[in-house]
Structure 1
Amino acid sequence: MQKKISDDSATTAANARGRERPTARTVPALTIVAHPKSERIGERLLLEMLAAAGRTASLSRNAPDFARPGSLLARPLGDAFLSRKPVRFEPGARGRLRLVVPEDGTPVRVGGEPVRGSREFTMEALAAGVPLELSERVVLLLHLAHAPEVPSVGDLGMVGQSERLRRVREDVCRVADLNVPVLIRGETGSGKELVARALHQQSPRRDGPFISVNLGALPRELVSAELFGVQRGAYTGAMKDREGIFRAAHGGTLFLDEVGEAPPEVQVALLRVLETGEVFPVGGQASVHVDVRLITATDAHLEERIRQGLFKAPLLHRLAGFEIQVPPLRERREDIGPLFLHFARQELEATGEASRLAAREPQDEPWLPTSLAVRLVRYEWPGNVRQLRNVTRQLIIGSRGLPHLRVDARLEQELDSAALPLPGHSLSVFPAPANDNTPMFEDLSPSRRKPSDVGEQELLEALRACAWDLKATAERLGISRASIYMIIEKSSLLRTAGDLSPEEISRCFRECQGDLDQMVKRLEVSKRALQRRVRELGLAGG
């Protein structure tokens, strides 16, 4: 491993590149989640006119055109069961968005309930994503996107076109050619290894080996020997020299997942490797030079582990030459449809039924039922992309030989048990309005302030004052809840429930005797998100 990977200048340059973000406005968008023609899933329509001039946007069978981001091919929804009479999207009161459904137009359902007249959605609802079910044939996700859309850097092996995923791709391209260590943070199952492989493939080391190791899966007493090699006779059973994983990755990339689980002695050795580019085999007296690009990943809150004395601060500083944050699936719901289709194609090919996704007759029932598509979009996905892949496999196998996908009662109950609350009773429902002078909104944001105007300390104090209720905090500060997540993501003072380690949550649960309010005060994270983590860990009373 070359010493220059730890140079402060290279680290500074990489992080500076990572902070460069093109400016773009936030506007409403419609992304196809389900369509009788499955290849349409993932196509998008930006409703820019709403933000630009406060004008009405219309949607019918014949117009406007949807297109995959970055593609020149654009076409209307085109399903014969949709009406030619358009539904409309209009600026609503107080920065809301109003959906107007004509009485004899396309039937629209939200949360299983038909929309009669019109319904208004808050910007908070749009930030979370609202699935719209049209004529039980098409599902569109109404959400927020950036305009103008930035040209793609290529998919890099990652499926989806959300803003959060685009940022990950940009970060990969910014740092791939630099010989600095990269720390990838993200929840379990979010695709951290996929990002590591993309870094390797985009780097000058692409022709060298890529070795992936899960430190949490290695026996504690063998971690050092596995990583750094063994000298013959070092311990009972060491009958011959072993080169170790670092030496096997010489000239290439080594990806260490769950780096937060590294034992103290391994942390010391990793720090030495990063500083000197040399490893000491177990039982050896001489160092061995290695040239390895080190990429690490964790779903743990390393800063908290440092405070607990479980992780060494200097090692974190060395590992984080550049950081990439992989978003959870629930924060990029517009990618759920394309990801589901991607996994479905793989499973259908494996079962010999790839033809099921071929063109169908216009009158046929959709292969992906709209009720299932809505459930997929609403589900919280605690296991992220890995869980979506497993659910897709279960659906494909469970529907073999059938004309469309079928959900068994157990899976249906599971998908409904942790679903995102849909905007329904909390939203204003009006009769269809006449042509009134609806106030225009200059930008689709309810904020009176920019996120950049809110400092970390101010946000922390507001969160504490509001008992970590994100909605109340957003109203108190005059920013959107999505802005709160943006500030937390960049903050060194704040964290989310997803950053907490299972050990920290379990210990706090015991010490607080399961009192969730006390846990929120101690851990300082959102109550709802913490409750979800407690439930995932199977702790009683969660």
Structure 2
Amino acid sequence: MSRSEPRESQSPPLVAEVSTAIGHTPSTVASADQAVPVLTLISHPTATRAGERLVLEGVAAGREVAVSRNGPNFTRPGETFGQPLSDPFVSRTPIVFSPGEEGRLRVRVGEGGTRVVVDGQLLTSREFTPEELAAGVLLELSGRVVVLLHQASNKARAPGDTLGMVGESPGIRRVREHIQRIADLNVPVLVRGETGTGKELVAQAIHQHSPRKGRPFISVNLGAIPKELAAAELFGAHRGAFTGATRDREGFFRAAQGGTLFLDEVGEAPPEVQVMLLRVLETGELYPVGGHTPIKTDVRLIAATDANLEEHIRDGRFKAPLLHRLAGYEIRLPPLRERREDLGMLFQHFAREELEAIGEAHRLTPQDPYAEPWLPASLAVRLLRYAWPGNIRQLRNITRQLVIGSRGQAVLQLDPRLAEELDAAGPAPKLEPAPTPTAVARRKSTEVTGEELLSALRQHAWDLKSAADTLGIPRSSIYDLIDKHPNIRRAGTLSAEEITACHQTCGGDLNAMVQRLEVSKKALNRRLKELGLSARSS
């Protein structure tokens, strides 16, 4: 609907619209911490409303829930009071959500009601399967409001500290719970997650809620330190211990004394540093480079990695005892694609930072309810369907590009370069359900023949994860199968001479080297970096 279309008369809300909403009697309310259908606002003409949600407990209790412009209320997690959709282009004729058979959920739009679009098609009546609900269903209302229909716990979050983390998805709630359990203990923590998921933010939250809060928090990226200097940077060095050591060096461990040391990209630690880290964790003592007297240290160590350390151990690049010591307690961060209901809140959070910097924070709370949304619904859908390989960091950067690139404009504009980036992974994929911890393999690894294994590896250019998925076995099992196969090698067992010769023959083309050597692409790329050889992908 555009501005020129007639507005509906401003009559009082219809009681019938909300009479079948969430019930309050013990017999109809879903039990505590049960998974129920939820509507989460991804975008709204009032952008600050992103993240508000409506728990469809009535549907879980076997009843209909009618949602219209005037009710029921969407509320922010942790808060008591909320407000209805209220957008004048959303009809008073309700969208009705009701239980279907075998766990399905039926959505029905009354005649003349709100224009609802799902997957580019106009919705009048449709049932969604449990699998679709687990993946999340995007509903675009009147081309202005975008909501995600998904499943979530109906357990309300108590008002309080969010630990500096934006979002209410099950994954991020679990991360908060882990932090609260471990923060006050002096146990090493290993934070695992893809690049850009916010591992340092977790480390800071642990430190800020620990007894060491008032002491130093030192953050070190091991991947950014030259390998030959890593030991001296971490543990300190005496003057003259190596060429260029013209003075004593304190080192990050002693700088963090009494506090917390965060080691990012711990999988990049050189072998000698791994040995020294293991000693510190086992004895609480360190030896500076060039020193012969141990120094007592009192540091809480938090490490992080986006690497598969188990694969590093198999390739001989990481010590298993060190992994066991670092992972005194392990926290896994979910990627953004597994917490899509948080995307609206995250976008609004980053947008507010940029808008305040350029003096346009009023964009988030427009005065004219009939104005075009600052975040167009079509752009919100596009953002939600993107795979986000760079996770939160990438979302923050794209938000900055959008806000600054649209400075002074009434609505956000998507320039060709950003459009190309969002389309780089091909057509927008349908939302995929997050993997569940209870998922099991379809086959036993013992059922896979050597010929099948070799064929799958060649089919997927030695991408172990894709090969394991094709074979229907866990990724961890494929390593054992490779070890047992007499004709399959690992990158960690290749000699430097063989790799160097292949690099020269293939002109540094990584893909060609993988086909020639028949080893894991990731593992081979790491070996090339260790040997100081550059690689390119054809």
Using the size of structure 2 for normalisation, the TM-score is 0.76
What is the match of residue 128 of structure 1?
135
2:42 match: secondary structure: strand
What is the match of residue 77 of structure 1?
85
Deviations 1:73-121 (A, max 9, x none): 2211111111011111223344322221223100011223322x22232
- Residue 29, structure 1, aligned to residue 69, structure 2: no
What is the match of residue 362 of structure 2?
355
What is the match of residue 171 of structure 1?
178
Deviations 1:245-285 (A, max 9, x none): 00000010000000011011100000000011111111111
What is the match of residue 440 of structure 1?
none
1:278–1:287 contact (8 Å) kept in structure 2: yes
2:237 match: secondary structure: coil
What is the match of residue 307 of structure 1?
314
Paired with 1:366 and 1:228, the residues of 2 have a C-alpha distance of 54
Paired with 1:354 and 1:220, the residues of 2 have a C-alpha distance of 45
Paired with 1:462 and 1:162, the residues of 2 have a C-alpha distance of 37
- Residue 241, structure 1, aligned to residue 248, structure 2: yes
Between 1:195-204 and 1:106-115, the stretch displaced more is 106-115
Letter in 2 for 1:372: L
How many residue pairs get aligned? The number is: 448
Letter in 2 for 1:273: V
Question: What does 1:42-191 align with in structure 2 at a 5 Å threshold?
Answer: 42-53=51-62, 55-115=63-123, 117-151=124-158, 154-191=161-198
For the structure 1 residues 229 and 463, does the alpha-carbon distance in structure 2 shift closer, same or farther, using more than 3 Å as the test? farther
1:139–1:370 contact (8 Å) kept in structure 2: yes
The structure showing larger relative contact order (alpha-carbon pairs under 8 Å, at least 6 residues apart) is 1
What is the match of residue 335 of structure 2?
328
2:37 match: secondary structure: strand
2:66 match: secondary structure: strand
For the structure 1 residues 152 and 509, does the alpha-carbon distance in structure 2 shift closer, same or farther, using more than 3 Å as the test? farther
Letter in 1 for 2:141: L
Paired with 1:382 and 1:174, the residues of 2 have a C-alpha distance of 30
Paired with 2:430 and 2:130, the residues of 1 have a C-alpha distance of 13
Deviations 1:131-190 (A, max 9, x none): 211001111011110123343662101111111101000100000000000000000000
- Residue 296, structure 1, aligned to residue 298, structure 2: no
Larger radius of gyration: 2
Paired with 1:109 and 1:243, the residues of 2 have a C-alpha distance of 61
2:386–2:429 contact (8 Å) kept in structure 1: no
Letter in 2 for 1:27: V
Letter in 1 for 2:411: H
Paired with 1:274 and 1:405, the residues of 2 have a C-alpha distance of 50
Percent identity of the aligned residues? Answer: 59
Between 1:202-211 and 1:403-412, the stretch displaced more is 403-412
**Which residue of 239, 242, 261 corresponds with 1:232?**
239
Between 1:35-44 and 1:315-324, the stretch displaced more is 35-44
Paired with 1:152 and 1:216, the residues of 2 have a C-alpha distance of 38
Runs of 5+ consecutive residues of structure 2 not aligned to the other structure? 1-30, 454-468, 480-490, 493-507, 524-534
1:130–1:422 contact (8 Å) kept in structure 2: no
Deviations 1:485-517 (A, max 9, x none): xxx99x97699xxxxxxx99x999657639x9x
Paired with 1:41 and 1:126, the residues of 2 have a C-alpha distance of 20
1:210–1:253 contact (8 Å) kept in structure 2: yes
Paired with 2:205 and 2:149, the residues of 1 have a C-alpha distance of 30
Using the size of structure 1 for normalisation, the TM-score is 0.76
For the structure 1 residues 384 and 451, does the alpha-carbon distance in structure 2 shift closer, same or farther, using more than 3 Å as the test? closer
Letter in 2 for 1:367: W
Letter in 2 for 1:69: P
For the structure 1 residues 61 and 168, does the alpha-carbon distance in structure 2 shift closer, same or farther, using more than 3 Å as the test? same
2:423 match: secondary structure: helix
Letter in 2 for 1:321: G
Query: What RMSD, in angstroms, separates the aligned Cα atoms of the two structures?
Result: 3.4
Paired with 1:508 and 1:46, the residues of 2 have a C-alpha distance of 50
1:209–1:249 contact (8 Å) kept in structure 2: yes
**Which residue of 200, 205, 223 corresponds with 2:207?**
200
What is the match of residue 49 of structure 2?
40
